[in-house]
Structure 1
Amino acid sequence: MAFRNWRESVIYQLYPQSFKDGNGDGWGDLQGILDQVDYLIELGTDMIWLGPIYDSPLVDNGYDIRDYQRIHPRYGTMDDFQQLLKRLHENDIRLIMDLVINHTSDEHTWFQESRSSKDNPYREYYIWRSPGTDGGEPNNWRSFLGESAWTYDEQTGEYYLHLFDRKQPDLNWEHPPLREELYKMIRWWLDQGIDGFRLDAINMISKHPDLPDAPEDAAHPLGQQFYKNGPRIHEFLHELHEQTFAHYDHIVTLGEAPSVTMEEVLKYTLPERGEMDMVLAMDMMRIGKDPKHPWRSRDWSINELKESVLKWHEGVHGRGAYAVYLSTHDHPRMLPDIIGAGDHYDQAAKLVATFLHTIPGIPLIYQGEELGLPNTIYSSIDDYRDAGTLGYYEHAVADGESETEVLEHIHKRSRDGARAPIPWNCALPQAGFSEVEPWIPVTPEEQLHGRCVNDQMTHPDSVLYYYRQLIQLRRMNPIVIYGSLTMLLPQHEQIMAYVREWEEERWLVMLNFADEDVSIDWSAEQIDDTQQMIKLHGNYPKFSRPTNREDEHDLSELKELRPYEALIYRMQSVSL
């Protein structure tokens, strides 16, 4: 194996149950992934983040783990897993698994023992508390589902804490025997030959020891200031690293750590601290989302993206590390509701790709982005599967909100919008994902508009082809990975433009986030607009611009960008 430096990688997130069904039961599995390894190779990614495949009741799509060291039969067997790992390694592709160690399923053996009695040796593996002074919950914390974060257990007369679903009790990291059990399990997986982990909800493992009430006007979810980036988080992460990852070669760790300052990110990711390699830069996931109402959308500005790019670049880039992304299994796709593509859908999809691969940070592609897939809208609540979505629908309708309005919110904000099966061949039943009806419906054809893999594989103007080109461009040009960034036109409400600089090389990237022609005035920028530039890439077909010099321009010639146009230029010389 000749793995690329992970800082130079492009990560591809696989949501296994929606990627490819290999055995014809309507559920994506390891054999289906194995059948499509050539697709991943051709795309050019060199690190796969595989969603949870552990044994689970699947209340939360596998993030409720019943047995860490057993693969759920729906996904296949350990032999299937080893075949996939071998095939990826033969092509120098890392495989990192999803590691969920903030909580387990309530069906895990540890929790079954823990709830059996107060003096059981496993009691302290979880967070139990007596009822509050009023006989109710120990505090006022709310879960991410909007309900109380505490569930009463009649058998022992106490409550257990769950920041997520009540069937996902939180582990008690204050208890050393619990941590030792986790480290043992992690070493077992590393001994199987995997290349690291994406650490789910990792900055929530240290809770404030007093578990105090949160102010009633605190942000959703109530109580998060007492369990995100908690008092012992860095101690726990350093111990985790020293007991596991530090003893293996080529291991990569990627942490999900919402609500962090840049100072916290540096603590998490500076190499000398020995905690994690990188975290997910989650700011961009919040654009278009109402922070006070998680199921409501809001208007947003391109300047929010600019501020996020600058914040992470100035605070972390070149010291710590972070992955940048625009959608995952937990967030709706950007197109077409957040970035309204209008009549220029493919250009918008390519614009998003250009942005993702040319800003600082390690790009993370969520499966289907490379096809320009839309956020799926299902016509009926019966087609949705996400527990949070169904819970919101039930409560909102019961509270008197109109079903039509509730469904409009769900269409834009439900996680299921990004979880529809990958369409491999639009000419086949179930878009080639499976021979039978899948676990969640495929995206309706009128929303796909033929954006299936078979339509794009050999089409030089396809979104898929464009992603391949960007990945190769990044691989061949360290400026995109290591270069500094200077933002131009900082107050422009439609265009993002920035210069990347590395050693003696300078690139200019221009992105029009509007569905219309937009003019540019360079006069306020400290930049010589007569310098020649060589075009490296763009998202409109070659020779479509009305000029005799399609690949060479002076900046002074670029006074207008077309709808969702993206351009990358090498600058021969520039003054900033």
Structure 2
Amino acid sequence: MKWWQKAVIYEIYPKSFYDSNGDGIGDIPGIIKKLPYIKDLGVYAIWLTPIYLSPQVDNGYDVADYRKVDPMFGATDDLKELIKEAHKQNIKVILDMVANHTSDQCVWFRESKKSKDNYFSDFYIWKDPKPDGSAPNNWAASFGGSAWTYVPERNQYYLHYYASQQPDLNWENPIVRQYIFDAMRYWKAQGVDGWRLDVITQISKDLTFKDAPKVPGKKYVPLKNTSGPHMHKFIHELNREVLSPFDMMSVGEAPNSSIDEILKLTAPEREELDMAFSFEHMRIDKATGPNGELAVKKPDFKQLKDVLSKMQTKLANKAWNALYFENHDRSRIPSRWGDDKKYRYESATAFATILHGLCGTPFVFQGEEIGMTNPQYDMNQYEDIELKNSYQEQVEEKKLLTTKEFLDVEHKIARDNSRAPMQWNSSKNAGFSQGTPWYQVNPNYDEINVEKDRQSKKSVFKYYQDLIKLRHNEDILTEGTYKELIPEDENVFAYKRDLNDKHWLVLVNLTSKTIPMADLKSDEIKNYSKIIIHNYEGQEEKQLRPYEAVILAK
């Protein structure tokens, strides 16, 4: 097996991890200082969200210079030192490559917008206005408004799937592709071990640039399919030019991709990606109001089970799963799907058990391993451009929601929920910084922090340590077959992992209710009795307690 198939990978949001110099912003020397903590958790690799020079319109996902570390995080030498120290601890380092778009402050774009006939003019996607001067089509940007912005110097519009400050690169231009490949080779030369590839399935566009089918009440229409006709060809070329020659691990972000599409992206014989992040399982609580307003619904755990099982069975023996519930774009799971008050420990460890029991590579987001929760911030305390744009459109312009209604939704699902600084201890600013943090620390840091959790009888960190040890030591979790039991049950997730003469059962109550074992319509469950890992002390044979999670062997 490849190293990443046995690994658990720890995602770091550098800005919010640990501030070493008191300026309120987490930095690379801060990550170096916390390497012993990361090593103690037991992970094999760390993934850093973008650390390149950036105006930070979208927290680093708007890159101004792919070869320069942003001074807010340190210097290139600091990154080299992190890689060296991590490698000493047998920890791999994965960087985030934003290849779909750059910042509008990138020199490529600043030159491109000057005229239609300079060296960089074709690095981005420029289109003439419609006869009436309006945008080339009705596509909506993911962060709201039109996907097109007008530039007078060229008398043309440029395409941006995200913020207007994030112009999309023109991957049809082979020179653009080589510039991206060269940047990746540069970081390989510094010792980087792999890549997380941001929205990589969007690098190829629908070259007809036709209007999307109109949606009542919407001037601009979100694209349902953002993968163009040359997407697989471009990713295969990236593999051939960078990933395979340098034996670099890759995991691609695949918005709007079906499981069949993910299989194509990750089947080894196609030579594209090692793994891909699917979004489908994270949509079990998403909803839309009658007028298109933002909404959430009660999580549909039957749907969660169906999607995860489909991923397990469709990719079995054909490709490899990337497993996650939390990341820098997702909320904290105890707050979103669990109970972050009465059963915070139980719900945090329950969902962890589900994830780490599956076949694939689990990704853990900083703070997930201590059960951090969503903050309940006021509107003026949030930082995220997507959230601010959504508020402007939904509350201020269209008046679809009140501020309270908007916040009721965002308190559940906002990207910023996971971006609050890491909670290390009960001291000032949760031990994250001696200065004023760039983003407010969750006020509950006195109750929830690394130091307190590790001393607790109910330690989420200790449970994650034990789960991660199982991943590393038990082949059944990486090589065993998967079969779901009681798929029709809406409250309990039960599945088997089997390898040779070893047979394990993962059994998890997804609710805050006590569930009688007699309600579980499976004769097989009673055949498992030896506890491998359990988030409660002692087992009750007749019932599953709230968010009880256990892995049992026959």
Give TM-score, length-normalised by structure 1: 0.92
Aligned residue for 1:192? Answer: 190
| 2:338 and 2:344 in contact (8 A); partners too | no
Change (3 A) 1:8 1:237: same
- Per-residue Cα deviation, 1:274-303 (whole angstroms, up to 9, x for no partner): 111110132222121116757321122211
Aligned residue for 1:567? Answer: 550
| 2:285 and 2:297 in contact (8 A); partners too | yes
Distance of 2:94 and 2:120 partners within structure 1: 29
Amino acid at match of 2:158: Y
- Per-residue Cα deviation, 1:465-522 (whole angstroms, up to 9, x for no partner): 1100110011111111121111111111211111111122110111001112101337
Aligned residue for 2:493? Answer: 496
Give the C-alpha shift of residue 247 in structure 1.
1.4
Aligned residue for 1:98? Answer: 96
Give the C-alpha shift of residue 101 in structure 1.
0.5
3-state DSSP class of the match of 2:114? coil
Aligned residue for 1:550? Answer: none
Change (3 A) 1:36 1:501: same
Aligned residue for 2:343? Answer: 344
| 1:318 and 1:482 in contact (8 A); partners too | no
Change (3 A) 1:523 1:390: closer
Give structure 2 stretches of 5+ with no counterpart. Answer: none
3-state DSSP class of the match of 1:189? helix
Match of 1:268 among 265, 268, 285: 265
Amino acid at match of 1:195: D
Distance of 1:476 and 1:311 partners within structure 2: 26
| 2:4 and 2:249 in contact (8 A); partners too | yes
3-state DSSP class of the match of 1:224? coil
Compare 52-61 and 293-302 and name the one that shifted more: 293-302
| 2:225 and 2:256 in contact (8 A); partners too | no
Structural mapping, 1:532-571, within 5 Å? 533-541=529-537, 543=538, 545=539, 558-571=541-554
Give the C-alpha shift of residue 567 in structure 1.
0.9
Give the C-alpha shift of residue 339 in structure 1.
2.1
Aligned residue for 1:364? Answer: 363
3-state DSSP class of the match of 2:345? helix
Give the C-alpha shift of residue 457 in structure 1.
2.6
Distance of 1:328 and 1:227 partners within structure 2: 22
| 2:336 and 2:413 in contact (8 A); partners too | no
Residue correspondences, number: 549
Give the C-alpha shift of residue 171 in structure 1.
0.3
Amino acid at match of 1:568: I
Aligned residue for 1:574? Answer: none
Structural mapping, 1:387-398, within 5 Å? 387-398=385-396
| 1:341 and 1:515 in contact (8 A); partners too | no
Aligned residue for 2:147? Answer: 149
| 1:4 and 1:46 in contact (8 A); partners too | no
3-state DSSP class of the match of 2:251? strand
Give the C-alpha shift of residue 116 in structure 1.
0.4
Give the C-alpha shift of residue 241 in structure 1.
1.0
- Per-residue Cα deviation, 1:72-124 (whole angstroms, up to 9, x for no partner): 00000111111110111111111110000100000101001100001112111
Distance of 2:364 and 2:91 partners within structure 1: 15
Distance of 1:423 and 1:10 partners within structure 2: 21
Distance of 1:197 and 1:121 partners within structure 2: 28
Residue identity (%): 38
Distance of 1:131 and 1:289 partners within structure 2: 35
Distance of 1:210 and 1:314 partners within structure 2: 36
Distance of 1:299 and 1:218 partners within structure 2: 26
Distance of 2:222 and 2:550 partners within structure 1: 44
Change (3 A) 1:187 1:219: farther
Give the C-alpha shift of residue 224 in structure 1.
2.5
Structural mapping, 1:218-367, within 5 Å? 222-225=221-224, 227-228=226-227, 230-249=228-247, 251-290=248-287, 295-367=294-366
| 2:340 and 2:373 in contact (8 A); partners too | no
Amino acid at match of 1:560: Q
3-state DSSP class of the match of 2:170? coil
| 1:535 and 1:569 in contact (8 A); partners too | yes
The RMSD of aligned alpha carbons is 1.9
Aligned residue for 1:520? Answer: 517
Distance of 2:466 and 2:179 partners within structure 1: 44
Distance of 1:479 and 1:213 partners within structure 2: 49
